């Protein structure tokens, strides 16, 4: 009976440990609002090509991927219409991108982390007026083999968070709050 208990608690401990190690993606957000959102005025946006500020040397064109991902996320969100002559302009940057490795982080949490750090600024044209700035940092630092492919969805995760921040701004978040 005592052995059964030990096995039970050992099993429970392993499950808790596994759950802790498998909980993969974490995202940090920072929203700075400089002007309140004006729903009657801000209906359409133009999206500038994303700038790659990373030291990524892989084969992927992450600037192009990021631009495409942001465009898709904006379109799906229904927040804005996308038009070339829109008075609102979105500029975007990839500040950090690491593909990482699922097998490495499975062996050692933190090793082989997949990261995508992006920022988006919302401008009103003409006049170069910055309305809001959003930053999102998505990391998959631990997790098992199920995190294979994180390097492909991590940009989408980061831009999902940017869209959430845009919704917060559009929902009435005002400067200084």
Chain residues that interact with another protein, rule: CB under 8 A: 3, 6-7, 10, 14, 17, 32, 34, 51, 53-55, 91, 93, 95-96, 108, 110, 113, 117, 119-121, 123, 127-128, 130, 133, 135
Cis peptide before 53 (omega within 30 of 0): no
**Rounded distance, CA 115 to CA 27, Å?**
10
- Closest separation between CB of residue 113 and another protein, Å? 8
Q: Which two tokens stand for residue 37?
A: 């959102």
Size of the chain in residues:
177
**Continuous segment of H or E residues that includes residue 108:** none
- Considering the complex, state which of residue 59 and residue 108 has its C-beta at the smaller distance from another protein: 108
- Closest separation between CB of residue 50 and another protein, Å? 11
- Closest separation between CB of residue 2 and another protein, Å? 11
- Closest separation between CB of residue 6 and another protein, Å? 7
- Considering the complex, state which of residue 111 and residue 153 has its C-beta at the smaller distance from another protein: 111
Q: Which two tokens stand for residue 140?
A: 């998959």
Of 148, 107, 150, nearest to 21 (Cα)?
107
């Amino acid at each position: 009976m005592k052995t059964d208990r030990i096995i039970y608690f050992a099993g429970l401990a392993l499950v808790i440990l596994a759950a802790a190690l498998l909980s993969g993606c974490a995202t940090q957000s920072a929203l700075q609002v400089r002007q309140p959102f004006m729903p009657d005025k801000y209906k359409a946006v133009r999206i500038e090509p994303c700038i790659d500020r990373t030291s990524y040397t892989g084969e992927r064109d992450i600037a192009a991927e990021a631009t495409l991902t942001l465009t898709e996320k904006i379109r799906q969100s229904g927040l804005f219409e996308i038009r070339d002559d829109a008075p609102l302009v979105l500029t975007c940057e990839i500040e950090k991108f690491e593909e990482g490795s699922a097998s490495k982080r499975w062996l050692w949490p933190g090793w082989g982390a997949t990261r995508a750090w992006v920022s988006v600024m919302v401008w009103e044209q003409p006049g170069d007026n910055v309305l809001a700035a959003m930053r999102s940092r998505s990391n998959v630092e631990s997790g098992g083999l199920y995190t294979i492919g994180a390097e492909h969805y991590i940009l989408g995760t980061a831009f999902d968070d940017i869209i959430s921040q845009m919704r917060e701004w559009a929902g009435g978040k005002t400067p200084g709050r």
